[in-house]
Structures are given as C-alpha cells and as structure tokens.
Chains A and B, each alone.
Chain A
Amino acid sequence: MNAPLPNSSRMRGNGAGNALELRGVGKVFGALAALSDINMTVKPGERRAVLGSNGAGKTTLFNCITGDFYATTGTIRFFGEDISVFPAYERIRRGLRRTYQISLLFTALSVLDNVYLACNGVSRGRFSFRRPRRNDAVMDSAETLVRMVHLDDVRDTLVSDLSYGQQRQLEIAMALSGAPRFILFDEPAAGLSPTERRELVEILTNLPGHVGYIIIEHDMEVALRVAESVTMMHNGRIFKEGKPAEIEDDPEVQALYLGGEGHG
C-alpha cells in the first residue's frame, strides 16, 4: 500500500494518513542484521501488541522508531511526516513517546522531578532558568501524572528508593507527559505483581481514544487484553500480523511459542 497523499511528507504531521508507517526498515549491527525489511502500518489510535521471542528485534524496532539509534535502511513516517533522519528529541516533540524495558530513570531525583523533567522536555520551558512557581502548568501536569499512576504517596521519594513495580509505573507516567499521540511500551508488565498488572491494564485501557500505542509484551494475557491487533516478530522480520484471536490460533505461531525455534 502506497501513501495515499503524495504530499504527506510536506505536511507537518497534522494527522494525515497513518500514525506510524514503516517501509523497508532494517538495522544492521556489524554483520548482524537485527532488523530486516520491516513494513508496518499503524492507524491513529490503534493499539497493537508486538510479540516474539528474545532477540526477535522488538526493542531494536522501538529504538529505530524513536531515534535512539537510526535505522540502516528504510523510511519511518509519523503521522505522514518522514522522521527517519530526525534526532530522537525531534521525534519526541512531535508526540512520540516510549518506555524502556530496563527502566532508564534519574535515580538521584525524586519521583515528581522525574515526571517534571519529562513534562518539561516537551514544553517550551525546557531552557528556563526560573524555578516553577505556584500553579505552574508543567508542574501541575506532572502532579496529575504522578497521581494517575498511583505514585502520589511517594512523589518526593528518590527514585533509587522505589520498588521495581513503582519504577515501572514511573516509566509509564513519563511516557504520558505532554500531549502524546503515539506511545511505544517496551514490556511494561515485566516483573510486576498481579495487582500491579491489573493497574497497568487499567491505565492502558483508560488512555484517551486518539492515543495509539505499540506494546511489547510476553504475557499473552496482558497483550491480548490491551491490543486490538498483533504483530509477530521472529529473527528480525515480521512473521505474522492479524487480530489477536487469529494469531493465537495460528499453528505456526503456536509452534514458535512452544519451542519450535528451529524453523521460522
């Protein structure tokens, strides 16, 4: 499928076309092809799960989309705009967000400061030499996010003193800063307790309808509850795409998940 609008790359991502459109994206580390020929289209507001065994290239795909590193080949369009050569911060300012599989937090800062940093990164005040005042809009939105992920009680605690589950929740709060249009969740449920998992599912399903996301998740139960479509990856390639039910019943997918690593 070609982009329906020939001029869509000129439009500054004003909602034209698809939320995310990957064409022939590949990533090579030395001799290792971590990703090859990824074609993927995600509509605005769509919620998709990416499944696959370790080393399937899921996190690499996220890194290429957010610009943590650049894809070797192919183009990435975000709401119609070609962002392939943009540095990470330009992509984030356009409404893309992500969480990290291994929490990348500022452990020497408090919970609120972490979220405040995230909110400031996508606001115009990021170079401000003035401290936030009472009723500061950015600080208010940070406090709202802290409440939303149930970290209100520990908002002044240093992140290094948080439990693992709390750190994961903080990651999510930071990904929701500003006005996200599309979020990449990298295994947000890994290591969470059953209660925390329920809270996570609740947060994800309660996101505003126009916010789409891709979630990497090993736990099929979580993945299938929060996603309306599934992409299956294997050895750096897309292996299957479809509705959750189709993927679950697919014999090839079952073979892969039941230890049939050899063929695929």
Chain B
Amino acid sequence: MATIDTHGNGLSSPSWFERIPAYYYFIGIVLISMPVFAGDFVLFQIFGWSFILGVISLSLMFLAGYGGMVSLAQMTIAGLAGYMVAIFGNSAIETISQGWPWYIAISLALLISVLFGTIVGWLAVRTEGIYTIMITLAIASAFFYFTRQNYVIFNGFSGFNGVLPPRLFGIDWRHPIAFYYLTLFWALAAYFTVVYISRAPFGLALQGVRDNARRMAALGYNVTAHRVAAYSFASLLAGIGGILLTWQSAQISPGTAGIGPAIDILVIAVIGGLRHPIGPFIGAFIYVLLKTFATDVLISFGLAGERFQLLIGLGFLVIVFWSPDGILGLWQRFQDSRNRDPLTGRGGREL
C-alpha cells in the first residue's frame, strides 16, 4: 500500500529510528549522562525518588487516564509489594523474614500485589466515579490500620528495616549511581510499556470503555473483564514501584502506604496530567522537588519549615483551578495557541 500513514498503527513506512522525535534522543542522552554532572544526593534522592513515585503514579494514570477509574489503592498495592519482598526476602527483622532468594521473593511480591490489585479492581469496577474513590480509599485505610496492628506478618507499627536490594553482578544497587540507573530503567520500561499498550487493542478498548461503556458492550466487549484486567496491569506497575521504594528507603512500615501517601500519588498524577504517561513523571519530579527543598525555601522566608505541605496543597489548587489537565494540559494549550490558524481558529490539536 502506498498511502502514508501518519497515525502510528505500525503500517507506516519510515523506520522506527526516524519515527522517534528528536527531543526523545535529547532527553535520553541527558538522562543517561546525568551521573556525570549530578551529585549522589540528586541522583538518589531527587531522581531516584521521582522515578519511583512516577511509576506508582503511572499505574494510577493508566487507570484514570485510559480507563476513567480513579483508584486510591495504588500506593497500597505498592506498599504490599514492598512488604512482600521484606517478608519473603531479607530484612533486619529475621524472625519474620524468610530470607528466600531475591528472584523468588520478587516474583512472589509481584504476583501477590497483582492478585491483590485484581481483587481490588474486581470490587471497584462495580462502582463509578466518587464511589470508586471511596471504595479504594476504604481499602487503603484498611490496609494501613491492618499492617499497623498486625505483628505476626507485618511487624506492626515499626514494619521492616534493612530491606536491601540483592547484590546482583557484584554491584551494590543502593549505591546512588547504580540506584539511579536501576530506577531509570524501570521508569523507562514502565513508561514505554504504557505508551505501547495505549495503542494496542487492549489499551484502545480500555479507552473505548472509558468513553462509552454501553457501546463497547454492543461491540462485543466484556466491559467488566476489561476494567478488571486494567487493574491487574496497573497493579504490576505499582508493585514494581513499591519494591523500588522499599529498597530506596531500605524499610517499609505502615506509614509508607498510609492515607497521606495514597493521596500524594493522586496529587502527583493530577499535577503532572492524566492525559499522557509522561504526566506522572513530571508530577513526581515537582512533588519531590517541593518536598525536598520547600522546607529550606520556607525557612529562608522566615516561615516554619514543616509548612511545605501547604506549598504542595497550593500548587494542587492552582493546577486544579487553572489547568485541570495538569502541567501537560498547560503545555498542550500553549502548543494549541501557537499552531492554531489565526483566521479559522482551527487546528493545533495533535495528541
């Protein structure tokens, strides 16, 4: 066929190398060479943490952006995966930790978090809108209080410390540079997987279910099964993020997956934007910057340092009021106004 496909259905003629926009290469080079000009703190605490929170937020973006389902349980699923590597693998709490090899501990952790996420989804897809938020919030708070009160499996209030990544290939994966590349790899893998799936039959169908569930049923789709499957996939992302988060702080405790962090994940996704998988990473970066430096900024203005949550809250308000599509939405509108034909006012939208 000689037609030129501008659509990315895999039918187009230019090679994959040419189809990748130039800025992808630029960002790629910057990210890969980051350890050359960034210190350990920035690599580990800023970028590492941003990538991890980005992956967990991405799981919410996948559900909310493509599926129209806002789940507050994504941090809970991440926390569960973190607990599972601590319980099946190694930690300082040797009476509970099984000390099984890392590949078994990680596989089990991911499997259990996907199973748990699927059950959460199976419950949540029966509801819509505010009720989905309520039911997942209920699950998140139940998990928080359960882990805080259960000492036999979850070691109660103190949780697990000394949860370290395996020494694979003789590398200490908690060393800032190694950890940077570890989290960068998983962030990129998660990002490109979501981008890819968004145009695959499953992702297209999910967007169809979001826009018009009734019509999808009339096209032969089992809408409920599709939504539950979306939760399963999102749980895998959240689980990966949760394991990395546990390794970063070397500990997991009820507070890691409490109500506050669960809401932070939503805030990150909304600040960044729910329209595209890059949104959660932008949101996570802003969140981490605020959380890390807002204290110093506030103190330099003579304000109490612990008011940094106020800044995040204000930022959230500003975004929700002026750009419901998040930072991405601002960018999109800027592009639209630049590309718009001054006479007809048409054009400019290219997603």
Q: Which residues of A contact B (CB under 8 A)?
A: 66-68, 87-89, 92-93, 98, 100, 104-110, 112-113, 116-118, 120-122, 125-134, 136, 138-139, 156, 174, 177-178
B199 touching A121, Cβ below 8 Å: no
CA of A130 to CA of B204 in the docked complex: distance in angstroms? 11
**B197: which A residues are within 8 A, CB to CB?**
129
A174, closest chain B residue (CB): B219
CA of A178 to CA of B226 in the docked complex: distance in angstroms? 20
- The answer to whether residues A134 and B11 also contact, given A106-B207, A117-B205, A117-B208 and a CB cut-off of 8 A, is yes
**B204: which A residues are within 8 A, CB to CB?**
109, 113, 116-117, 120
- Say whether B9 faces chain A, with CB atoms less than 8 Å apart: yes
CA of A83 to CA of B320 in the docked complex: distance in angstroms? 47
A93 touching B7, Cβ below 8 Å: no
Nearest CB of A to B187, in Å: 19
**A105: which B residues are within 8 A, CB to CB?**
212, 215
CA of A134 to CA of B216 in the docked complex: distance in angstroms? 25
**B11: which A residues are within 8 A, CB to CB?**
132, 134, 139
One of B5, B6, B205, B212 near A104 (C-beta < 8 A): B212
B220 touching A131, Cβ below 8 Å: no
Chain B positions 223 through 252: 1 when the CB is less than 8 Å from some CB of chain A, otherwise 0: 100100100000000000000000000000
**A174: which B residues are within 8 A, CB to CB?**
219
CA of A78 to CA of B114 in the docked complex: distance in angstroms? 39
How many residues from B make CB contacts under 8 Å with A? 30
CA of A131 to CA of B217 in the docked complex: distance in angstroms? 22
- The answer to whether residues A89 and B201 also contact, given A100-B215, A108-B211 and a CB cut-off of 8 A, is no
A120 touching B205, Cβ below 8 Å: yes
- The answer to whether residues A131 and B200 also contact, given A112-B9, A121-B205 and a CB cut-off of 8 A, is yes
B199 touching A68, Cβ below 8 Å: no
Nearest CB of A to B92, in Å: 39
Q: Which residues of B contact A (CB under 8 A)?
A: 5-7, 9-11, 196-197, 199-202, 204-205, 207-208, 211-212, 214-223, 226, 229
**B229: which A residues are within 8 A, CB to CB?**
127
A93, closest chain B residue (CB): B220
CA of A74 to CA of B234 in the docked complex: distance in angstroms? 42
Nearest CB of B to A121, in Å: 3
- The answer to whether residues A177 and B202 also contact, given A68-B214, A112-B7 and a CB cut-off of 8 A, is no
A128 touching B218, Cβ below 8 Å: no
**A93: which B residues are within 8 A, CB to CB?**
220
B215 touching A130, Cβ below 8 Å: no
**A121: which B residues are within 8 A, CB to CB?**
205, 216, 219-221
**B214: which A residues are within 8 A, CB to CB?**
68, 88, 104
- The answer to whether residues A132 and B10 also contact, given A89-B221, A121-B220, A126-B220 and a CB cut-off of 8 A, is yes
B222 touching A89, Cβ below 8 Å: yes
**B220: which A residues are within 8 A, CB to CB?**
89, 92-93, 121-122, 126, 178
**B215: which A residues are within 8 A, CB to CB?**
100, 104-106
Nearest CB of A to B9, in Å: 6
One of B5, B199, B211 near A131 (C-beta < 8 A): B199
**B202: which A residues are within 8 A, CB to CB?**
126-129
B223 touching A129, Cβ below 8 Å: no
CA of A107 to CA of B216 in the docked complex: distance in angstroms? 13
> What's the A-B contact tally at a CB cutoff of 8 Å?
109
**A107: which B residues are within 8 A, CB to CB?**
211
CA of A131 to CA of B16 in the docked complex: distance in angstroms? 14
**A104: which B residues are within 8 A, CB to CB?**
212, 214-215, 218
**A139: which B residues are within 8 A, CB to CB?**
9, 11
**A130: which B residues are within 8 A, CB to CB?**
200-201
A152, closest chain B residue (CB): B3
Nearest CB of B to A10, in Å: 23
- The answer to whether residues A132 and B9 also contact, given A87-B217, A106-B207, A117-B205 and a CB cut-off of 8 A, is yes
CA of A136 to CA of B6 in the docked complex: distance in angstroms? 17
B211 touching A128, Cβ below 8 Å: no
Nearest CB of A to B328, in Å: 16
CA of A174 to CA of B208 in the docked complex: distance in angstroms? 13
CA of A68 to CA of B219 in the docked complex: distance in angstroms? 11
CA of A67 to CA of B226 in the docked complex: distance in angstroms? 18
- The answer to whether residues A131 and B208 also contact, given A66-B218, A88-B218 and a CB cut-off of 8 A, is no
A118, closest chain B residue (CB): B219
B349, closest chain A residue (CB): A158
Lowest 8 CB-CB distances: which A-B pairs, in order?
A: A121-B220, A121-B219, A92-B220, A88-B217, A104-B215, A122-B220, A128-B201, A131-B200
CA of A127 to CA of B11 in the docked complex: distance in angstroms? 20
B211 touching A98, Cβ below 8 Å: no
**B200: which A residues are within 8 A, CB to CB?**
128-132
**A92: which B residues are within 8 A, CB to CB?**
217-220
A106 touching B211, Cβ below 8 Å: yes
Residue among A92, A129, A178 facing the most chain B CB atoms (10 A cut-off) = A129
A135, closest chain B residue (CB): B11
**A98: which B residues are within 8 A, CB to CB?**
218
Nearest CB of B to A220, in Å: 28
**A131: which B residues are within 8 A, CB to CB?**
9-10, 196, 199-201
**A138: which B residues are within 8 A, CB to CB?**
201
B211 touching A126, Cβ below 8 Å: no
**B221: which A residues are within 8 A, CB to CB?**
89, 121, 126
CA of A18 to CA of B9 in the docked complex: distance in angstroms? 40
B201 touching A122, Cβ below 8 Å: no
CA of A129 to CA of B205 in the docked complex: distance in angstroms? 11
**B226: which A residues are within 8 A, CB to CB?**
126-127
Residue among B5, B202, B214, B219 facing the most chain A CB atoms (10 A cut-off) = B219
- The answer to whether residues A117 and B218 also contact, given A106-B212, A108-B207 and a CB cut-off of 8 A, is no
